[in-house]
Amino acid sequence: MSFLCDFHIHSCLSPCADITMTPHEIASVCVSKGIDWISITDHNSAGNVRVFSKVLSRAGVSFIPGIEVHTVEDVHVLAYFPEVSLAEAYSDWIRKERLAHISIDPEISGYQLFVDDNDSFTGMEEIWLGQPTTLGISETLETVRDNGGVSVMAHIDRKMGLISQLGVIPEEYREVPMEISFRRTLFEGIESRNILHSSDAHSLNVIAPTV
């Protein structure tokens, strides 16, 4: 049995995402495109995963709570958790212990919006989520695992990926699952590895299923 999935989607909480990336709007796109399973992976936060879990369940779309962790090396790591509470706990720890309390002007840096299950905005995250945490790559992998999650190296073929930031895929990370874009032909040599293809959608029209 196969499923249509997109495991890298940003909500209106990410400062670089459209404010249209709300639960019902994303659920509607998933239903219209026949997508069975998604993950919401906002930058350094799981602040909207609970409401997405609720709305997507009603729409018949399976859900994995996630976070896109921005490491000190400027590498993005996707962290997936089996339960909303685990994602929220890890997110709270990052916010309290691993993010500088830098405030933003949303008109310049983007809005970071919390939302409810009616797609109404309920508040705004005041700490800038687009900054790197103080977590290194190795520590991110370790702490995600210790908190019950699974890590995937995000968009290794693009900006803020392993290759663009480090120039190579270091040996110690070669067994970690990796996400590449839909340009599969550029990475035929690593297709035998644990590879994830996702949209990294920041707007509704970019959400796209893969098998």
Residues of the chain with confidence (pLDDT) below 70: 1, 182-193, 211
Cβ 138 vs Cβ 64: under 8 Å:
no
**Domain-wise residue ranges, the chain:** 5-206
Whole-angstrom distance, CA of residue 90 vs CA of residue 170: 26
Q: Which SS3 state, helix, strand or coil, does residue 150 take?
A: strand
- The CATH homologous superfamily for domain 5-206 is Metal-dependent hydrolases (3.20.20.140)
Q: CA 56, 26, 67 angle in degrees (round to 5)?
A: 75
pLDDT digits (tens, 9 = 90+) for 139-187: 999 999 999 999 999 999 888 898 888 988 888 998 999 998 755 555 5
Please report the pLDDT score of residue 112 as a whole number: 98
Task: Report the b/e string of 91-104 with b at 16+ CB within 10 A.
Answer: beebbeebbeeeeb
Q: Which SS3 state, helix, strand or coil, does residue 190 take?
A: helix
Please report the pLDDT score of residue 186 as a whole number: 53
Please report the pLDDT score of residue 181 as a whole number: 72
Whole-angstrom distance, CA of residue 3 vs CA of residue 61: 11
